[in-house]
Every structure is written in C-alpha cells, then in structure tokens.
Chain A
C-alpha cells in the first residue's frame, strides 16, 4: 500500500539558511499534518491543512510557513534556520472524517534536518 512520502530524507543546512521540506500524502487523503521531534522528545504538532486550508496551528515559529497544494502535497518552508531547528520533521496524512481528531494519521518516514 502507498505510504506518505517525504523528501528529502536528510538535510544539512547552515544557520540563517532556508529549507523546504516536502510531503506527499497517501492517495485520496485530504488532510496533512506536520510535526517536529527534537532529540529524545515526543513529536510536537506544528500545523495541519484540510482541503488546502489551514485547519490548526500549533507551536510553529513565525519563521516557518507551510501550505497545501491543489494535488494535496504540502511544503514546510523554514527560514533563518537556527541550531535549535535541528530535529526530525514528520508529515502525516489522513482522510477527514469530521471528527476533528479521530482520524487515523499515517506518518511518513520523516526528514532529518541538521542545522550547523
């Protein structure tokens, strides 16, 4: 079965640079979520989109922005990178069922970002 695809899998950037992470959801999934997992931490919710509209926003820095495109893929743009942005970034997708949280989220393998 098709899974969530994330690219790149690994990314190394310098401080103050910009990074773009991409997420391709499972076919027919209309909702995309982004999470950040720091070393030894649990995943923290950043932002989600349903039908190309932002549906919820968590502790996402103002330096980060994201969008969902017409083909449902999503991109997380990160500017002015800081050392503390080094983390594993997960994308998840689901099919909206109107429960506002009960949908099963299927996670991608993650993008490991290292900021030097």
Chain B
C-alpha cells in the first residue's frame, strides 16, 4: 500500500524568504505525486503533479517540486514566499483510483 510522510508539521518563514516542504513517499511502482494547498476552511487546490519525465515540475503560484527516486522524495519549493502563501500543504500519492495524503505541513508567513 502507498503512503506519504511529511516530516514537518509546521514551518514559519519570513516573507520574501525561500520555502521548502519535504515529502517522502512509499510505493512499489512509479508513483503519481501531487501537491495540494488548502487555505483555512477551503477546499484543496492542486499546485503541481508528477507523472513521469522531467523530474523538476513547475506548478502554479511560483511553486516547483523535484522528484528524486533514489530518495523517495518529492519536495516542494518556492524561491520567495508571499504572505498569501500561508496555508496548509498536502503531498499525495495517487494509486488504486484514490489519493493518499500526508499529514500536511502548515506554513506561517511572518512579515
């Protein structure tokens, strides 16, 4: 069965600083990997996804993620954080007609 681990429960970053959110997955085959963002009380918005090919994936809102098979990781990055990036971020693996999510990382942005 597939699983996702997000080691960081909460990250605080200054506005304008870079951000990296960690995600490790466990899956026997080539994974389909996703990052979603959830603002308080809101639904889940897709940031980016990895299916195959180029291991560096560009997404919306200036986010990118890098797939590293050797490390079973799919870390999310943003070079310069904006106050509007404060939210909860979920990494997910897609398999067997469903998504399995990590526990999420809450990002706080300080001025």
User: How many chain A residues touch the partner (CB < 8 A)?
Assistant: 28
C-alpha gap A109/B51 in the complex (Å): 25
Q: Classify the secondary structure of B's interface with A.
A: strand
- Binary per-residue interface labels of chain A (76-96) against chain B in the complex, 1 for a CB within 8 Å, 0 otherwise: 000000000000001010000
- In the complex, chain B residues whose CB is within 8 Å of the CB of A99: 32, 51, 94
Count contacts between A and B, CB distance < 8 Å: 66
Q: Which of A59-116 contact B (CB under 8 A)?
A: 90, 92, 99-110, 112
- Binary per-residue interface labels of chain B (82-111) against chain A in the complex, 1 for a CB within 8 Å, 0 otherwise: 000000001001111111111110000000
**Interchain CB contact under 8 A, B49 and A104:** yes
- In the complex, chain B residues whose CB is within 8 Å of the CB of A112: 41
Chain B residue at minimal CB-CB distance from A44? B101
Determine if A24 is an interface residue (Cβ-Cβ < 8 Å).
no
Determine if B56 is an interface residue (Cβ-Cβ < 8 Å).
no
Chain A residue at minimal CB-CB distance from B104? A42
Determine if A27 is an interface residue (Cβ-Cβ < 8 Å).
no
**Interchain CB contact under 8 A, B97 and A56:** yes
Chain B residue at minimal CB-CB distance from A97? B51
Query: Which of B46, B100, B102, B103 is within 8 Å of A104, CB to CB?
Result: B46
C-alpha gap A109/B32 in the complex (Å): 23
Q: Could you list which residues of chain A lie within 8 angstroms of chain B, going by C-beta atoms?
A: 31, 33, 35, 41-45, 48, 50, 55-56, 58, 90, 92, 99-110, 112
